[in-house]
Amino acid sequence: MECGILDEDGMHYEGNCIRPPSEAYSILLQVTVGCSHNKCTFCGAYKGERFKIKDNRIILKDILFASKYMKRQDRLFLMDGDALIIPQKRLIWILDRIREHIPWVRRVGSYANAKSIRMKSLEELIELKKKGLGILYMGVETGLDEILKKVNKGTSAENLVKMGRKVREAGIKLSVTVLLGIAGRDMSLEHARATGEILSAMDPNYVGALTVMLVPGTSLHKDYLNGKFELLTEREILEELREMVAHTNLTRGLFFSNHASNYLPLKARLPKGKQQALDLIDSALNGEVGLRAEWMRAL
């Protein structure tokens, strides 16, 4: 979504404004522009966009606007790609202003990555939780170190688990995304098993499985054009999803594959709904359940 900059009486947005599907009805407060990492080979969201933290005066003006015109929304999401990277004192200032001027907001959310979580101590994360930060969204993508390195994720599976557990220990809800098809055809099932294992070790509150879609201009798209990366067929994606669900054991978490990029919408509460989810995937593999048409898929 290209936001642009609204007039002086509206919220101030720059560039591409990205938020999780679950934050569709939240107040969208842009506190950073771009992504602090911005090196993942599959992502074209912030290409050509230099990362910056917005001026406090602009942020406060937007908070004051929201306090006047957004009284029905009780959730707020801090955009863009990684607001958690903001230094602690400044992030606390933002959360305090939200509490001061929009006291009806029950939960503040933000994207995060392994680097930004590592830069915050456990005590700092707990402080952010007390100030209203209720959920962090982290892209895991895969549990295979080889693939993490190939897609320039900038972290390891072991570190992702540690950072995910750190968020949970602070009492902040954790929502992670994984990518079906990111390992290509040869490592598909290995990727599925390793990803299920990393999810089990991390034990997030929510898991969102998306399916890889090629974005022109990205390194992954170039690899596809050069024959270095293969897209999976619908059936292969379903087989990968089944293997991933089979190897994912959550204490009490929701596993979704209902993003617009997916062929089979799925929502399961684990561990209780695991077998039902596997049965649904089997029905789809047997041709008994219809799949989302290719023309309907989107990022």
Over its length of 299 residues, how does the chain's per-residue pLDDT go in tens digits? Answer: 445 444 457 899 988 888 998 999 999 999 999 888 989 999 988 887 889 999 999 999 999 999 999 999 999 999 988 899 999 999 999 999 999 999 999 999 999 999 999 999 999 999 999 999 999 999 999 999 999 999 999 999 999 999 999 999 999 999 999 999 999 999 999 999 999 999 999 999 999 999 999 999 999 999 999 999 999 999 999 999 999 999 999 999 999 998 899 999 999 999 999 999 999 999 999 999 999 988 888 88
Tell me what pLDDT residue 10 has.
Answer: 85
Tell me what pLDDT residue 5 has.
Answer: 45
| CATH of the domain spanning 139-299 | 3.30.750.200
Tell me what pLDDT residue 8 has.
Answer: 53
CA angle 179, 168, 158 (to 5 degrees): 55
Tell me what pLDDT residue 1 has.
Answer: 43
Q: C-alpha distances in angstroms, 262 versus 117, 147, 152, 256, 280?
A: 28, 20, 23, 10, 14
Sequence spans of domains, the chain: 1-112, 139-299
β-strand partners of 16: 2
- Classify 291 in phi/psi space as left (phi over 0), alpha (psi -120 to 50) or beta: beta
Please tell me the distance from the alpha carbon of residue 221 to that of residue 290, in angstroms, as a whole number: 28
Residues 6+ apart with CB under 8 A from 199: 140, 143, 176, 178, 207, 248, 250
> What fold, for 1-112?
Transcription Regulator spoIIAA (3.30.750)
Same fold, 1-112 and 139-299: yes
The three-class DSSP label of residue 2 is strand
Tell me what pLDDT residue 7 has.
Answer: 42
